[in-house]
Amino acid sequence: MPKKSGLLFILSAPSGAGKSTIYRKLALRNKNVQFMVTCTTRLPRKGERNGRHYFFLTTEEFQRRIQAGRFVEWARVHDRYYGIPKERMEASLRQGKTVLLAVDVQGAQTLKEKYPGAVLSFLVPPSMAHLRGRLERRKESRESIEKRLHRAEAELLHVVNYDYVVVNDRLPQAVRQFEAILTAESLRVSRFLQNAPENLAVNWNGGHAWNRKSRKSKIQRVYSPSV
């Protein structure tokens, strides 16, 4: 049997666009979807728990893990470090799971280079005014809000580098649209053949069969009686 290969699903969005809510609902509603908890040096917000929302690390510990090569990707955002645990992510992919990552636009492109089969999706707010309102409800400082809005405008220019875009106008609809993307990607012929048994042969009344050898898709004529 070949090794299973899961789906790496990358979600990017401006700060405040609602990506945290989206990816947690996707993981709760789909048993094969695993949200990959990332590491960060920022302080926990109210209600956040270590190991569930993030792995909260000191700056010194984070830097030690960088030196040890324990992150598949890391970045410094808003003066805080964020990183994706390499061993945990690759173990989940080997198990055939759909791994959901929330990363910024630079991280998404880096991961796409390392994992060409990754699917990139971008969540956008209905408008910048809507995004400002969400940030203001967080009760952040004016300086922080303006910094995040300025960054959001720059991030939105990268939408053209993504495979899919979803507008978070109504949350239930946005979740359903992401689920539709996950379903479509899981049904790609290339993914089916990649995870199929080595001697796969699907017969149609003595007609065609698929035979996947050396991990290549090949259509051949099979002259055998139908079963």
Q: What is the DSSP string of 65-97?
A: HHHTT-EEEEEEETTEEEEEEHHHHHHHHHTT-
More confident site: 127 or 78:
127
Q: Report which of 39, 134, 20 is spatially closest to residue 77, judged by C-alpha positions.
A: 39
Strand-pairing partners, residue 121, are 11, 164
The more confidently predicted of residues 80 and 227 is: 80
| Residue spans of beta strands (DSSP E) within the chain | 7-12, 33-35, 39-40, 55-56, 71-77, 80-85, 98-102, 119-124, 164-167, 208-210, 219-221
| Residue of 108, 129, 140, 97 whose CA lies nearest to 4 | 97
List the single range of 2-6, 49-53, 206-210 with lowest mean pLDDT.
206-210
- Please report the pLDDT score of residue 83 as a whole number: 93
Q: Which fold has domain 7-191?
A: Rossmann fold (3.40.50)
What's the whole-number mean pLDDT along residues 181-197?
83
What residue ranges of the chain are covered by domains with CATH 3.40.50.300? Answer: 7-191
pLDDT digits (tens, 9 = 90+) for 153-171: 999 999 999 999 999 999 9
Give the model's confidence band at 47: pLDDT under 50 very low, under 70 low, under 90 confident, else very high.
Answer: confident
Q: Specify the pLDDT at position 91.
A: 93
pTM above 0.85, yes or no: no
